[in-house]
């Protein structure tokens, strides 16, 4: 990872969410306000709260869900303690503009690069613009565990490693065995087309706990947890969702498997880039210009569909599961008690309703299914 990021310091962590908590605790004093995307995993929202910080929801570009810096009022900029990018599905947020804003304000830029391990912006890798960035090895690599906290100042390594080690839970033999068995269990039930059994297996392994897109907020319990912030333990019921091992120290077997998958990353990125090109060229493609950085190897391609429920159902009939949906936006989901709402919420609401995240490696199957089902494309402004 240091080689991929131009020599930037990289610290292995058990999960991206754990690495983000480390970064927020190090670079942001409790009580600060953090600009972030409202179209994001709710786990990330709870990590920000766990760090003792107030989320501030940003306006978005409706084409790809990136932060719209021009739509952030000056009054909001002046009240921030940090900016957290999302790089949703691998589409880069406008890092040069955000970097300039953060420099002018004297606040840190933190990059969530979970979806963007191969993405670039203005000639630089996503994850090299901020004081710190976090990467996931559960996404492109498919390791289902692990990640990296990366940072610009090598002098911080010992301090951040000590903070990591203090928060880690020790490796457990049962967790290691479960991790090693999981791919075979999933493959077996899916090969037998036992969809319900597959979901039951994922729930048993702590990898699928949601009945809806968003987890239940549990506002009363969340208020109680906020009284104890900062700290991971009070927020554990929210932060652990879909990944119970998020703060578990890795065993040797887990690290070996992760290393093998990471070694194949270039091949994986090539496959994602090829599928991305095909999906973006379709009638449902967002229509954004790839720019000077060229085509990104998107983790998921957000096709823009008129009726997403119908599209999801059509794909499900072909046993193509749609994941990584983030609807409704976080300000609608959590309310003003827990977050500052976006000053311009309409584009985010529209994007969250119409984005259909597609695995680019299944581009041909998805396009064929959507066309056969008569799913219509949509553009921002077509409907309110």
CA 243 from chain centre, in angstroms, equals 13
Phi-psi region of 231 (alpha: psi -120 to 50; beta: other; left: phi over 0): left
Give pLDDT, residue 381.
85
Give pLDDT, residue 54.
98
pLDDT value at 200 more than 70 = no
pLDDT value at 383 more than 70 = no
CB 309 within 8 A of CB 15: no
- The 10s digit of each residue's pLDDT in 54-113 is 999 999 999 999 999 999 999 999 999 999 999 999 999 999 999 999 999 999 999 999
CB 77 within 8 A of CB 261: no
Which tokens go with 142? 């498919």
Higher pLDDT, 151 or 184: 151
pTM as predicted: 0.92
Mean pLDDT, range 358-365, rounded to an integer: 98
DSSP code of residue 138: S
DSSP code of residue 209: -
DSSP 308-339: HHHHHHHHHHTT--------S-HHHHH-TTTS
19-28, 72-81, 245-254: least confidently modelled range = 245-254
Give pLDDT, residue 180.
57
Give pLDDT, residue 201.
53
- The 10s digit of each residue's pLDDT in 31-61 is 999 999 999 999 999 999 999 999 999 999 9
CB 53 within 8 A of CB 30: yes
pLDDT class of 384 with cuts at 50, 70, 90: very low
Nearest-angstrom CA–CA distance, 93 and 87: 5
Residue whose C-alpha is closest to residue 54's, from 39, 35, 33 = 33
pLDDT value at 176 more than 70 = no
Nearest-angstrom CA–CA distance, 9 and 2: 6
Q: How many CB atoms lie within 10 A of CB 373?
A: 16
- Please calculate the CA angle 206-210-213 and round it to the nearest 5 degrees: 140
pLDDT class of 184 with cuts at 50, 70, 90: very low
Cα Rg of the chain (Å, integer): 20
Paired residues of 35 in beta bridges = 56, 83
Which tokens go with 104? 């002018």
Give pLDDT, residue 120.
97
């Amino acid at each position: 990872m240091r080689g991929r990021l131009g020599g930037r310091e990289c610290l292995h962590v058990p999960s991206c969410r754990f690495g983000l908590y480390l970064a927020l605790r190090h670079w942001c004093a409790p009580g600060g306000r953090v600009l972030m995307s409202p179209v994001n995993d709710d786990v990330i929202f709870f990590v920000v709260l766990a760090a003792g910080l107030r989320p501030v929801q940003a306006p978005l570009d409706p084409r790809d869900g990136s932060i719209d810096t021009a739509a952030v009022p000056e009054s909001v900029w002046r009240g921030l303690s940090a900016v957290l990018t999302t790089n949703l599905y691998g589409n880069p947020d406008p890092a040069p503009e955000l970097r300039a804003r953060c420099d002018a304000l004297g606040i840190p830029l933190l990059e969530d690069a979970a979806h963007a391990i191969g993405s670039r912006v203005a000639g630089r890798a996503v994850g090299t613009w901020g004081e710190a960035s976090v990467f996931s090895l559960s996404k492109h690599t498919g390791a289902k565990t692990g990640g990296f906290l990366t940072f610009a100042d090598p002098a911080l390594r010992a301090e951040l490693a000590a903070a990591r080690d203090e928060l880690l839970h020790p490796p457990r033999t049962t967790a290691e065995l479960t991790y090693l068995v999981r791919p075979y269990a999933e493959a077996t039930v899916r090969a037998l087309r036992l969809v319900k059994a597959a979901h039951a297996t994922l729930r048993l392994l702590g990898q699928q706990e949601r009945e809806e897109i968003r987890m239940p907020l549990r506002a009363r319990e969340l208020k109680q947890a906020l009284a104890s912030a900062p700290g991971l333990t009070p927020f554990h019921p929210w932060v652990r969702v879909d990944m119970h091992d998020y703060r578990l120290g890795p065993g040797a077997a887990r690290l070996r498997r992760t290393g093998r998958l990471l070694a194949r990353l270039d091949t994986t990125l090539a496959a994602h880039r090829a599928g991305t090109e095909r999906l973006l060229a379709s009638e449902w493609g967002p229509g954004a210009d790839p720019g000077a950085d060229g085509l990104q190897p998107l983790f998921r391609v957000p096709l823009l569909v008129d009726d997403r429920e119908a599209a999801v159902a059509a794909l499900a009939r072909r046993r193509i599961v749609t994941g990584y949906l983030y609807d409704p936006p976080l300000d609608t989901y959590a309310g003003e008690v827990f977050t500052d709402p976006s000053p311009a919420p309409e584009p985010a609401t529209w994007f969250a309703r119409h984005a259909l995240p597609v695995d680019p490696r299944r581009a041909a199957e998805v396009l064929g299914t959507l066309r056969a089902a008569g799913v219509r494309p949509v553009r921002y402004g077509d409907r309110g």
